[in-house]
Amino acid sequence: MATISLPNISPFVQTFNAISAFPTQTAAVATTGTFDGVHAGHQAILQRLMASAKEIGGQSVLITFDPHPRRLIHPEFPLELLTTVEERAELLADLGVDFLIVQPFTLEFSKTESIDFVRRLLVEHVGVKRLVIGHDHRFGRNREGSFEHLREFAPVYGFEVEEIPALDIEAMHVSSTQIRQALKDGEVEKATLALTRPYFVTGEVVQGRQIGRTIGFPTANIGGLHPDKLLPAQGVYAVRVDLLDQPASSATRGLPAVANYGQRPSIEAGLAVLEAHLLEGGQDLYGQRIRVHFIERLRGEYTFPNRDALVAQITKDAEEARRVLGG
């Protein structure tokens, strides 16, 4: 068993690094999919999954894949993940899912026929007694498996299948694609509604050039971001910051801050950088894991004629961030 863990964060769902590593259950109720973002639509499926497991006295199991199947099928397109596997594990734990299986999506696995996936992996190995899936879910080699196939397999292999009606999902008016577009447009509040929480990124504070200190606004430069993680449109944001390497408290979670994601044209134009300035001051955070929750976009990224104009605008940004974040 491989259990994902990050220090001093809420407990993670019990996680296994492959279906083959999972101990067969007596009454597993499972669902499968990438569940990137764990948004409101996903949560509807997961709530039904857990309720169904409770009905039969069983265990709720989510089977997801890493890397994302599109990495193998369409490597020419960027993934733009809303959540890393570790972040998904944390969110699933908060929801109350019992088990997470992270199945490596390899070329060999992609060739698994739908009937073999159901009979050998789900029924015989996981111990599935009931399968809960979203509308129009596809699985198996070349996405050949469908809900109709599952209804045929169910009585043969001794499990039940339940499809979440399309209307139940569509009523959420949410999809991962819509959330990605909202973030690219800088509409983080719209993303918050769809996700049921502010969008966040997780990284590590790295050494910068400390230019912010020279103008009275020291910032934490955030590196170590997952290469496939989607960042919102460049600009300035009111954010809240979690210091993940410290025990959870009001002094380490939800700290008000103003963040800039961009190329900093007024300072040193180059690759886009994410940096955050804690509004209540802070401590030496170098090397610490940090999480940034995007609350509201304040403005785009501008080029300023001189240092005084830059400092004046940053001062306004900090004041606006305080207003947005409630003082």
The percentage of the chain sitting over the pLDDT mark of 70, rounded to a whole number, equals 84
- Lowest mean pLDDT: which of 67-81, 179-193, 204-218, 305-319? 204-218
**pLDDT at residue 85, as a whole number:** 92
133: pLDDT confidence band, cut at 50, 70 and 90?
A: confident
Q: Could you read off the pLDDT of 79-103 as tens digits, one per residue?
A: 899 999 999 999 999 999 999 999 9
**pLDDT at residue 78, as a whole number:** 82
104: pLDDT confidence band, cut at 50, 70 and 90?
A: very high
Mean per-residue pLDDT, 161-175? 68
Q: Could you read off the pLDDT of 189-246 as tens digits, one per residue?
A: 999 999 999 999 999 999 766 555 555 577 899 999 999 999 999 999 999 999 999 9
Alpha-carbon span 320 to 326, nearest angstrom:
10
Which of 63, 42, 64, 53 lies closest to 160, judged by CA?
53
**pLDDT at residue 98, as a whole number:** 96
Kindly report, as residue ranges, where domains of CATH 3.40.50.620 are found in the chain.
14-170
Alpha-carbon span 139 to 118, nearest angstrom:
9
**Structure-token pair, residue 79:** 């993934």
**pLDDT at residue 1, as a whole number:** 35
Instruction: Name the phi and psi angles at 83, rounded to 5.
Output: -140, 140
Q: In this structure, are residues 200 and 293 in contact, taking their beta carbons and an 8 Å threshold?
A: yes
**pLDDT at residue 135, as a whole number:** 66
5: pLDDT confidence band, cut at 50, 70 and 90?
A: very low
What angle in degrees, to the nearest 10, is found between the helix axes of 40-55 and 85-95? 50
**Structure-token pair, residue 91:** 């969110």
**pLDDT at residue 308, as a whole number:** 85
HEC profile of the chain: CCCCCCCCCCCCCEEECCHHHCCCCCCEEEEECCCCCCCHHHHHHHHHHHHHHHHCCCEEEEEEEECCHHHHHCCCCCCCECCCHHHHHHHHHHHCCCEEEEEECCHHHHCCCHHHHHHHHHHHHHCEEEEEECCCCCECHHHCECHHHHHHHHHHHCCEEEECCHHHHHCCCCCHHHHHHHHHCCCHHHHHHHHCCCEEEEEEEECCCCHHHHCCCCCEEEECCCCCECCCCCEEEEEEEEECCCCCCCCCCCEEEEEEEECCCCCCCCCCEEEEEECCCCCCCCCCEEEEEEEEEEECCCCCCCHHHHHHHHHHHHHHHHHHCCC
Q: Could you read off the pLDDT of 26-35 as tens digits, one per residue?
A: 999 999 988 9
Kindly report, as residue ranges, where domains of CATH 2.40.30.30 are found in the chain.
198-324
Which of 200, 205, 190, 271 lies closest to 240, judged by CA?
200
**Structure-token pair, residue 76:** 């020419």
CATH topology of domain 14-170: Rossmann fold (3.40.50)
Q: Where is pLDDT greater, at 131 or 10?
A: 131
Domain covering 198-324: architecture: Beta Barrel (2.40)
Q: Could you read off the pLDDT of 297-307 as tens digits, one per residue?
A: 999 988 887 88
Residue 148 pLDDT > 50, yes or no? yes
Residue 257 pLDDT > 60, yes or no? yes
**pLDDT at residue 272, as a whole number:** 84
Q: Where is pLDDT greater, at 116 or 75?
A: 116
Q: Could you read off the pLDDT of 262-300 as tens digits, one per residue?
A: 976 555 556 789 999 999 876 678 899 999 999 999 999
